[in-house]
Structure 1
Amino acid sequence: MEFVVEEGKHLHENCSNLIMPALSIGNVGQLAVDVLISSTRGERIGYLDDPNVLPCVGNDAYWPSPEGDLTLPLEAYASSSNSLTLIQQRSPVVKGMMVEFAKNVADFAAASGKKHVVVLSSLDFGRWQTIDMSSGLQIYYLSSSSMDGTDNDCERFGWKRLQDYNLDQRLWKYLSNLAEGNAGHHDDIPSGDELGEEDYSPSLPFAALFSCFKAKGLKVTCLLCYCSEGDNIPEAFHLADAACRLLGVNPNNFGGNEGGKWIVPFSWQTVYGPPPDMSLF
């Protein structure tokens, strides 16, 4: 992976907290990073070139202007006033290369002096075992702060540790071995239809990122919420707010539209395409 700095830009040393998405159902992690970049008025400082990420290109997602800057698959933004570096990923990883991609991102984070990495992602609502909406949308977490994945700050916020995290489980153990450079035994790893319920979480991209950041000695916290495909903008705001709480960032200082704390990204205006032709009704 190569980090290409834009002309006249540089990595900010004080931006020691890194937030990035892990692609999953409903694109909640990407949407949350979108709103964080827009609301903090993050400055694009460069992009990451990794052969394991599929190529894509599009219009400027945040600040449309006559210059017509293009967006790329993997971009880095900085908000020095909030001590944040944000990475946005807009295209998926090549099949079978997720661990290699995660290792490359972990190398970048370690080399650039990041102290705390927050990964935002989602889980399939159809697999939710215990449904409790009494306290609203629930945040689940996984932290490298302790061997069992718990974290005192996350518990204080009322979040729940990811229930099926178990380092002795075959896929979690396999990920840990790969991240640490140990070969592991491919014959012991199920594939396709052989995956069981206990294999769901460690088969997702956030698990590979978690394992590789942890293997690099970085503090990493995954924040997760359950969702379905569809309009997941409320979940994105909830996840963005959770990331701010965890890192001690006050969204009320962002100075959003009309005094609000969030600035909706320009690209969201067409996230579900143009409005319907009313002459049809």
Structure 2
Amino acid sequence: MPSACRATFSQARTPQPLLAPSPGLARVSQQSSPFPFPVLAAASFLPPARQGTGRTLRTPRRGTPRSRLRLWVLGTGPPGTAPCSGFRRPAAAVFPGLRSTPCSGRAGTMFIPCGETFPDLSGFTLLMPAVSVGNVGQLAIDLIISTLDMCKIGYFYTDCLVPIVGNNPYATANENAAELSTNAEVYSLPSKKLVVLQLRSIFIKYKSKSFCEKLLCWVENSGCTRVIVLSSSHSYHRNDKQLCSTPFRYLLTPSMQKTVQNKIKSLNWQEMEKSPCIPEIEDSDLCVRVPGGGITKLLYDESCSKDIQMAVLLKFVSEGDNIPDALGLVEYLNEWLQIIKPHVQGDDPTASTLPWKIPSSWRLLFGSGLPPALF
């Protein structure tokens, strides 16, 4: 990030914008803000740091220098636009004077609602991805949000993920293309009792366990009935039996088995096989391993210990163009939940056989096109 974007607290007191805003960036309300100008909320995703007047901010750990607090300041821009209606700023850990959202659990909650009140998620099913090989789970969640036209109800404020901000990935017109999206956002569809968490960033080193604990704390506090994680695993780690069968697998926590085991059996799905805990040593203990699955195994283990109903659906994949893998995984999920009605070829011969709506942001999934000058 340019040095102009970095500021100490003493520098931040000047009312001049530190960075010229891009067209379409959102204006954030200045209520209770300690600064004399609007501040983009995404800036506060950085971990809290001690304030030093006119000096570089340092973290308590060993006093080592960390990145200076980065303030994305908006001087001008279209008024009245915001990431979501009734946008709320994060807690006062970073900016003193800002309203915080206290947690009702030991690990804390990261969820910040778009509205003034927390939505009632009692009885809802939470769908979320694991940041895993090929980003298959994230692509599958994109398809679900886009197809069902789900409404954003909030976001996660956390220092566990690399901070990012961008345009609306599900924009359907110029009017909503300028809405902001961040690294962890929550969408809902009350008619189907579905709530979806989309992760768009990787984890900060050593922060994945903390994130899992806080996430499951939020699941318990929000009243969600069950959690379904969409993930993937390295295809080259398959054994002979897995090579000769379907590439899809599932995992159920003990509490989840009691409620859906019969349904899963009727689908003839294959459970993820246990493998030696220490690879290449045949007589070692057997355990569940998900190579390349990111936080999948950690989430599964934590859910087992907390008696949370969780299912993991995954596919063995390789890196590359993983759009077909995402379509396959979301179809696999749809066999169980019936999120959308499967398209029957005889209903309308002219209709597309693909029932899923591709998000507009996928046009840039592999970057822009080749420059004509090359040819």
User: TM-score by structure 2 length?
Assistant: 0.59
Once residues 263 and 240 of structure 2 are traced to their aligned partners in structure 1, the CA distance between those partners, rounded to angstroms, is 23
Within-5 A mapping of 1:68-107: 68-107=178-217
Aligned to 2:28: none
Kept in 1, the 8 Å contact 2:182–2:200? The answer is yes
Q: Which residue, out of 131, 140, 144, partners 2:249? A: 140
> Which of 270, 275, 280 is matched with 2:369 structurally?
275
Following superposition, the deviation at residue 198 of structure 1 comes to 6.7
1:50 pairs, out of 138, 153, 158, with 158
Find out whether 1:116 has 2:226 as its counterpart.
yes
Runs of 5+ unmatched residues, structure 1: 171-196
SS at 2:240 equivalent: coil
> Against the structure 1 CA distance between its residues 87 and 7, is the aligned structure 2 distance closer, same or farther, given a 3 Å change threshold?
same
The structure 2 residue matched to 1:160, chosen from 270, 274, 277, is 270
Question: Over alpha carbons, which structure has the higher Rg?
Answer: 2
d(CA) in 2 for partners of 1:268, 1:15? 32
- The CA RMSD measured in Å over matched residues stands at 3.1
Report what 2:121 is aligned to: 13
The 8 Å contact of residues 141 and 162 in structure 1, kept in 2 or not, is answered as: yes
Residue 247 of structure 1: how far off its partner (Å): 2.5
Q: 1:40 to 1:12 in 2, by over 3 A?
A: farther
Give the C-alpha shift of residue 251 in structure 1. 3.9
Contact 1:76 1:88 in 2 (8 A): yes
Q: Match of 1:24?
A: 132
For the residue of structure 2 that corresponds to 1:160, the secondary structure is: coil
**CA distance, structure 2, for counterparts of residue 12 and residue 79 of structure 1:** 12
How far did 1:238 drift? 1.5
Percent of paired sites with the same residue: 28
Distance 1:51 1:123 in 2: 26
TM-score by length of 1: 0.78
What are the equivalent positions in structure 2 for 1:122-201 lying under 5 Å apart?
122-130=232-240, 138-145=247-254, 151-164=261-274, 169=277, 200-201=289-290
Q: Distance in 1 between matches of 2:372 and 2:238?
A: 38
Residues 26 and 210 of structure 1: is their aligned pair in 2 closer, same or farther, counting only changes over 3 Å? same
Q: How far off its partner does 1:244 sit? A: 2.6
Structure 1 residue runs of 4 or more that deviate by more than 4 Å after TM superposition: 131-135, 146-150, 197-200
Distance 2:145 2:165 in 1: 18
Q: Equivalences for 1:232-251 in 2 at 5 Å? A: 232-251=322-341
CA distance in 2, matches of 1:72, 1:250: 27
Give 1:160 deviation, angstroms: 1.3
Instruction: State the Cα deviation string for residues 88-134 of structure 1 (Å, max 9, x = none).
Output: 00111112222211111101111111111100000001112237677
Where does residue 191 of structure 1 map in the other structure?
Answer: none
Q: Using a 3 Å threshold, how does the CA distance of structure 1 residues 164 and 156 change in structure 2: closer, same or farther?
A: same
Query: Which residue identity lines up with residue 232 of structure 1 in the other structure?
Result: N
Deviation at 1:10, TM superposition (A): 4.8
Q: Deviations over 1:22-54 (max 9, x none)?
A: 111100000000000001111000001122112
The structure whose residues are more often strand, as a share, is: 1
Q: Which structure has more helix as a fraction of its residues?
A: 1
State the one-letter code of the partner of 1:74: A
Give the distance between the partners of 1:217 and 1:38, measured in 2 at CA: 32
The answer for unaligned runs of 5 or more in structure 2 is 1-108, 279-285, 344-350
CA-CA distance at 1:223 after TM superposition: 0.3
CA contact under 8 A between 2:255 and 2:307: conserved in structure 1? no
Partners of 1:148 and 1:262 in 2: CA distance: 29
**Does structure 2 conserve the Cα–Cα contact (< 8 Å) formed by 1:116 and 1:219?**
yes
Change in CA separation of 1:130 and 1:113 when aligned onto 2, cut-off 3 Å: same
Q: Give the partner amino acid of 2:367.
A: G
Determine the C-alpha separation between the residues in 2 that align with 1:66 and 1:9: 26
Partner of 2:311: 221
C-alpha deviation, 1:275, in angstroms: 2.0
Once the two structures are superposed, residues 172-229 of structure 1 have per-residue CA deviations (whole angstroms, 9 ceiling, x without a partner) of xxxxxxxxxxxxxxxxxxxxxxxxx978527841011112223332210000101111
Letter in 2 for 1:124: H
Instruction: Determine if contact 1:42/1:78 at 8 Å carries over to the other structure.
Output: yes
Q: How many aligned positions are there?
A: 249
Q: Which has the higher contact order (CA 8 A, sep 6+)?
A: 1
Q: Aligned in 2, Cα 1:101/1:148: closer, same or farther, shift over 3 Å?
A: same
